[in-house]
Each structure stands twice: as structure tokens, then as C-alpha cells.
Structure 1
Amino acid sequence: MKKIIYILSFLMLALTVRVSAQNELTTYLETAAENNPGLKVKFNEYMAALEKVPQVGALPDPTFAFGYFIQPVETRVGPQQAKISASQMFPWFGTLSSRENSVEAMAKAKYEVFEEAKSKLFYDVKSTYYNLFFMHQAIDITIENIDILASFKGLANIKVESGSASAVDAYRVQMEINDLENQLALLKDNAQVLSVKFNSFLNVDVNSNIQMGEKLTGVELLDKHLALDSVLMNNNTLAAFDYQIEDLQYRQKVASKEGLPQFNIGFDYTFIGEGNSTASNAGQDAFMFPKVGITIPLYRNKYKAKVQEVIYLQEAKTNEKTDKENSITVLFEIVWKDYQDALRRTVLYEEQEELAEKSLSILESEYATSNLNFEEILRMERKLLKYALEMQKATADKEAAVAFIQYLQGQ
């Protein structure tokens, strides 16, 4: 309950803009959760761990024996012909429950491993989707810039025909167009690779069409410390360590109880034949119940070593968790830095793109009415293309950083 409240309080500090891309992405995440074979492996391992609970919680199998006397043993009441015996071993009180608790803790750890795998899968799907979204945007922007250059080429040809410009201007434009067409082909190849990668996460046909929204979801994380606290509280790997430590605590109890006596309760039934005895109970079968035994653990060093072994493992697992917390904290700092950098770049390139568009419009007008150096127009057009691409890349990077933080939070 505490975990749920904490998550809700954190989400209240996030500003979310719902757009069509989010709806598409949510559908793909559901498909990945249902189809991904790697995720199914982790889930089946968790289910297998649950099946161990009834195994360790059961008593040892009872022992049953039958004996037949080839040469009957004569007794006061008659000859012994056959004998049946059965017994059940009972461990010390609380041993079975401790074993069950130990296995249940390990099953919970397996579940956290499954949840971690699901969170990692969701991050892979999201980040690939964002990169693919950027590729599609880059393709559209590149095609748009090729069209712009084509209009520049037409303007340059008009000026060349009128004798007010050199044919070099038209050649320069065509060179720029050739470069962009080559870049466009590379972008399309990259988009194809990302599409195959994305569909593989969903375990669908690699050539399946991927629906892309018009915009990416805009999420801004407003509090760094709260985000880090949420990571350390909800991270699946750290939660798995907690259950592993809990498992070792129960294993210590089991090791201690194994050094205590075990009890054996059973019965014997002896078949007595009719002999020459004149006793009143002659020929009457003999039944002995209960037959009680006890196992005494005399070799104490073995059981002390078992307990000490688990104590060392607990200390090792606790230190391992602390080391993982430190690693996650460092990783969070790196991702938060990337997130802040993406935010700054988003603001910067949005402004730069706007200024480049205005500058290009002015330069185009001046070139049409004067003999302005055409190189300035091409240089500004290259800047406009760069800023437009960098703007989209910054947006995709920001969303990828948010997705990774959500992965660390176990979402």
C-alpha cells in the first residue's frame, strides 16, 4: 500500500500531455507484454518457483515394510509368519513452515525478476519507438528541405538565364540536393533496421507496419530527489534483493532446526500362526502402536557450519544490495543529466530553428532582388536543416531518458 501511495504522489508531480502517439505506444506495450518470448521465460521461471512451496512443506514420505518368515519363529503364543510395519518421520516443530517461507520468499524474488524484465522490455520498446519516430521525422524534414532546395535551384536558374548570377549557384544547389538524397537513403535504411528491431520486441512479423503518432508524449519530471527516492523504493532488482535476504533468514531458521531431534512414529503388526501353545491368546496376531523413535543430531559441527554459512550469505547479499543501490544512484544521475540536457536542447533548437527560418526567408528575398552571395542562402538552409533535426532528436532523447527513469522505478 505504501508503495502505491508513493507512486501516486510522484505521478502527481509529472506533467503529462496526452497525444495520439501515446495511445499507439500503449497498444504496442500490451502486445509486447503478451508476446515477448524472453518475458515468458521469466514468468514461467516464477511459476516454477511457486510449485516448490508444496514440495518443501510436505512431510517426508512414510516408510512401509513387509517381512515374511521363511522359517517361522516360535513364540509363546504361536509361530510368527509375517510382519508389517509403517512409520512416519516428523521434523522439529516449525521446520516445514520455515522451509515454506524460504521458498515463498525466493518465488517473490523470481517475480521481481520477472517484473524487472517486463520494465526493461517496456523501456526497449519505448526507446526504439522514440528513435523510430525521430527517423520518420528526419525523413520528412529531409524531404521538405530537398523541396526547398529545388525551389532555390529554380530561382538560381532564373537568375542565371537573366545574366545576374553565375551557373555555379545552380551547381551548388544540385550538390546540396545530392547530399540530402544520399542522407535520405541512409535515414530510410536506419528506419528499416529500427522497424525490424521494434517488431522483434513484440514478437510479430518483422515487416509489420508500425503506426506512428503525430507527436510524442510530453512528460516533465519536476523533482529530482523525489524521482530518485521513487527509484530506490520501487526498483525491481532492489526488491528482489530484499526477498533474497528474507529467504536467507528463513534458511538460517531451517538450518538451526535441522540440528534439533526428529521424531519417528509408526506401528508393527505381526501375523501369528496356530501352534501347539495352550495359552489363551494363542494364534492371535500382535499389534504394536505407537512405535516411537527419535533421531539425535550428535555431530554438532555440521549443523553449526550450516547456520554460519547462511549468516555469511546474508551479509554478502546485504552488501550486494548496497552496491547495487550505489550503482543505480550513479546511473540515475547520468540519466537525469541526459534528461536535463535534452530539455535545454529542446528549448535551444526550437528558438534556433525559428531564427533560421526567418533568416532564410530574408536571404531568399535579398537574393531575388540583388546579387547577394548564394553561398549564404545554402549555409543558412543547412543550419535550418540541422536545427530541425536536432530539435526532433532532443525531443526523442528526452522521452527516452524519462522512459529509462521509469524503468528504474519498476514501471
Structure 2
Amino acid sequence: MVKLKYNEERNYRKENRIVFLLFSLFFYFSGNSQTLQDYIREAEQNNPQLKAMQYTYEAALEKVNEAGSLPNTSIGAGYFVSEPETRTGAQKAKFTAKQSLPWFGTLKAKKNKETSTSEVFKNDVEILRRKIGLDVKRRYYELYSWKAKEKILKQQKELLSDYKEITISEVANNKASAVDVLKINIAQNELDNKIEIIKGNILNAETSFNKILDRDGFEDLIVPDNLIIPDEEPTMSIDDVTYHPELLKYDNLSDMVIAQQKVNDKERLPGLSVGLDYVVVEERPDQTFSDNGKDIVMPMLSLSIPLFSKKFKSKDKQFELKQEGYSQQREAEQNKLEEILEKAINNRITARINYTTQVKNIEQANQAEQVALSMYQTNQLDFNELLEIQEMILGFELKKITSIKDYFIQTAIINYLE
């Protein structure tokens, strides 16, 4: 009767687990995925470094308008302390206005340079945003792992309680000894110890998670009870990193250097200045001719010629060296990202293999548990062996959770690199 009662309870628990798993799958695909995205958005909105970088990018955009503006207009005024005499009268004061004009196309080249510079900052914003998303996902799956392990340990403790009831009944029937009950108590104590340790790990994981979300206080975090590894492994290509923002950054830097080169080419051309001088002339009191006291108006045009071009040649050489440097940095960064991607793909495959192995082990260990329990109740098996099987099942369950966590973290890394 005890064995029958135990099997009925065990089957009922399994049925509940199946129903719970189906509901978990439904809520995972309909809600938990969105919850993760909510966490990512919250982290992006609250991250001070991202905000600062966004402001830097917006400031760079404003510099485009600044670069398209003409130089300041020079306005001057002077009073003749010693008045020079002319035929039409004495010069009393002089007013001057002057405007420098860059060579045709110079302002456009400067605007293009600032636009290229702003693209560099924009790319930095995208890189940081991706890194924040990856960091959130890591903490999300770490927290899932600890909570799932806590749940498994609590279920194992409940199962040992069922074993304890069976063992006490067997002791009453002289089919088991009180030592077996004490062994179960010891096993439960060990589980309590592991549960308390995991609770500390959960607290640390939640603190770390809340920190990246930049929350003022400690708030509850929602993670799924179950994560399911997809049936098929998606195919990946190493070329997927070619257009990653960390590589596009060097393309943007290269474009910025090209724009600077064009500005340098324009600045070595002559510069124009237009102006106007206006001289106030006082009338001669003893003269009556028509131009008496007529003010002087003098339009001016000047040309600025860069006769010494050494600095422009030096800039050309600097730009050439920068271009080569960015090209080499891009190649080195691409090799690094490809290595990380290849490692992540292999680690994800390994996690899937480990997961599949643990699922098989759990299934076979559960079968062994049923056989061992029957043998124990007929005095054909030592109680230590039954506990060893339970310890084995627990180890498989914990390894399965670790495999799931590893799979999704490696997937997050791969998504970051796409």
C-alpha cells in the first residue's frame, strides 16, 4: 500500500509538472521574451554612460551647422586725432567692414567632415547599446539558472520526504532500520545547506541585475521558470560580423579622414575677402565746389594665398598614416570578433549536446530509481544505493539547467555579434 501510494503521488506530481511546463512555455513565448526586452529598454534608458554618449552625438550633429557658417564679419571704426587734409576737406573718421570668404566648396567640405565625425559618435552609441543589451541578457539568464536550481533542490527535498515516509513504514514492518531514516535526515540537511547557499547567489544575482538597470532600490525581478532549447540549431556564417558596429566604427573613422583630407585640399586654395571702407570728410568752410566735404567710399577685395604649403603636405601624410592605421585596426578587430563568434557557436553546440545528454541521463536514472525503490522494499538493495541514485538524478538536473543557461548566454553573444 505504501508503494502504491508513493507511485500515485509521484505520477500526480509528474502530471502537474507536465501541465505546468505547458503553461510555462505559453507564458514564455507570449510574455517573458517581452519582459527581457523591457529590461533591456530600461537599462538603456537609465544608463548614464549611454546618455552621456547620446549627448555627445547630438553635440556633434550641431557642429555640422557650425561648420557651414561663414567666418565672423570684421567691423572697425577709427577717429583721426590728427586730421589729414585733402582737397575736399579734412578726414574726421573711418569705418571699415570686412568679410572673409573661403574658397568655393570649402564650407561644404567642412560640413561633410563634421557629418562624418558625428557618424563615429553615432556608431559608438550603437556599440554601447548592444553591450548593455548583452550584459542584461547575461544577468537575466544567470538569475534564471540560480532560481531554477533552487526549485530543483526544493523538489528533491520533497521527494526525500516521501522516501522518509516509506522508510518509516518499512521500519515499522521490520524491513528497514532507523539508520536509513537518519540517512534521509542527513541528506535533507545537505539539501538545506545547498538551498541556503543558492539563496545567497540569487540575492547577489538580483543585486547585480538591479544595478545594471540603475534602479534606486531593490525591486523584484521576473524571470521564466523554464527555458526550452530549440529543436534545431540555426546555421551561422563567420561573415556575419562583417557589418558589426565595432567594425563599422573603423569605416566611419576612415570616412572622417577622407573628409578631413578634402577640407585640407580646399584650405590650400586661395581665400577671398571683401570689404568696404567709409571715410567721413569735413567740408572746407572757405570753399564752394561741388565735392566739398564729400565722404569717401572704398570697396575692397583681397586674396589670401598660402605660399608655404609645408603644413598641408604634412597633413596629407598624417591622413595617409591614419587611414592605414584604421585599416589595420579593422582587420585585427574583425579577426577578434570572428574568433569570439566561432567560440560562441561551438560553445552553444556543446551546451546543446550537454543538455541532450542530461535529458537522457535523467530519463534513465528515473527508471533506475523505480527499480531501486522496488528492490529496496523487498530487501534486495542497500538504502545507500537508492540515495546515490537520487544524488545522481539531482546532479543531472543541475547540469541540465547549467546547459540551458550556457546555451542562451552563448546565443546572446552570437546575437550581439550579428
Compute the TM-score of the two structures, normalised by the length of structure 1: 0.90
Q: Deviations over 1:214-273 (max 9, x none)?
A: 433655652122xx323222x111112111110000101112222221111111111111
| Within-5 A mapping of 1:166-245 | 166-216=177-227, 218=229, 221-225=233-237, 228-233=238-243, 235-245=244-254
Secondary structure of the residue aligned to 1:298 is coil
1:88 aligns with 2:99: yes
Q: Distance in 2 between matches of 1:361 and 1:231?
A: 50
| Within-5 A mapping of 1:10-409 | 18-216=29-227, 218=229, 221-225=233-237, 228-233=238-243, 235-275=244-284, 276-289=286-299, 291-409=300-418
Cα 1:28/1:177, change in 2 over 3 Å: same
With 149-158 and 338-347 compared, the bigger mean Cα shift is at 149-158
Quick one: percent identity of the two aligned structures?
Answer: 29
Q: Deviations over 1:284-321 (max 9, x none)?
A: 111112x1111111211111101111111111111111
Deviation at 1:178, TM superposition (A): 1.4
Letter in 1 for 2:303: I
Secondary structure of the residue aligned to 2:306 is coil
Secondary structure of the residue aligned to 2:208 is helix
Letter in 2 for 1:128: R
Q: Distance in 2 between matches of 1:401 and 1:206?
A: 30
Cα 1:36/1:249, change in 2 over 3 Å: same
Deviation at 1:163, TM superposition (A): 3.7
Cα 1:387/1:20, change in 2 over 3 Å: farther
Q: Give the conservation status (yes or no) of the 8 Å contact 1:36–1:202.
A: yes
Secondary structure of the residue aligned to 2:83 is strand
Secondary structure of the residue aligned to 2:41 is helix
Q: Distance in 2 between matches of 1:83 and 1:196?
A: 73
Letter in 1 for 2:155: E
Secondary structure of the residue aligned to 1:61 is coil
Secondary structure of the residue aligned to 2:358 is helix
Q: Give the conservation status (yes or no) of the 8 Å contact 2:355–2:400.
A: yes
Q: Deviations over 1:319-353 (max 9, x none)?
A: 11111111111111111111111111111111111
Q: Distance in 1 between matches of 2:114 and 2:385?
A: 72
Letter in 2 for 1:267: L
Q: Distance in 2 between matches of 1:19 and 1:215?
A: 13
Q: Distance in 1 between matches of 2:264 and 2:123?
A: 26
Q: Give the conservation status (yes or no) of the 8 Å contact 1:133–1:212.
A: yes
Q: Distance in 2 between matches of 1:320 and 1:300?
A: 31
Deviation at 1:162, TM superposition (A): 3.9
Q: Give the conservation status (yes or no) of the 8 Å contact 1:88–1:265.
A: yes
Q: Distance in 1 between matches of 2:202 and 2:260?
A: 52
Deviation at 1:159, TM superposition (A): 3.3
2:16 is matched with which residue? none
Q: Give the conservation status (yes or no) of the 8 Å contact 1:22–1:217.
A: no
Deviation at 1:157, TM superposition (A): 3.3
Q: Give the conservation status (yes or no) of the 8 Å contact 2:229–2:352.
A: no
Q: Give the conservation status (yes or no) of the 8 Å contact 1:200–1:206.
A: no
Does 1 or 2 have the higher relative contact order (CA < 8 Å, sep 6+)? 1
Q: Give the conservation status (yes or no) of the 8 Å contact 1:232–1:325.
A: yes
Deviation at 1:277, TM superposition (A): 4.7
With 164-173 and 194-203 compared, the bigger mean Cα shift is at 164-173
1:4 is matched with which residue? none
Cα 1:56/1:128, change in 2 over 3 Å: same
Structure 2 residue ranges without an equivalent (≥5):
1-27
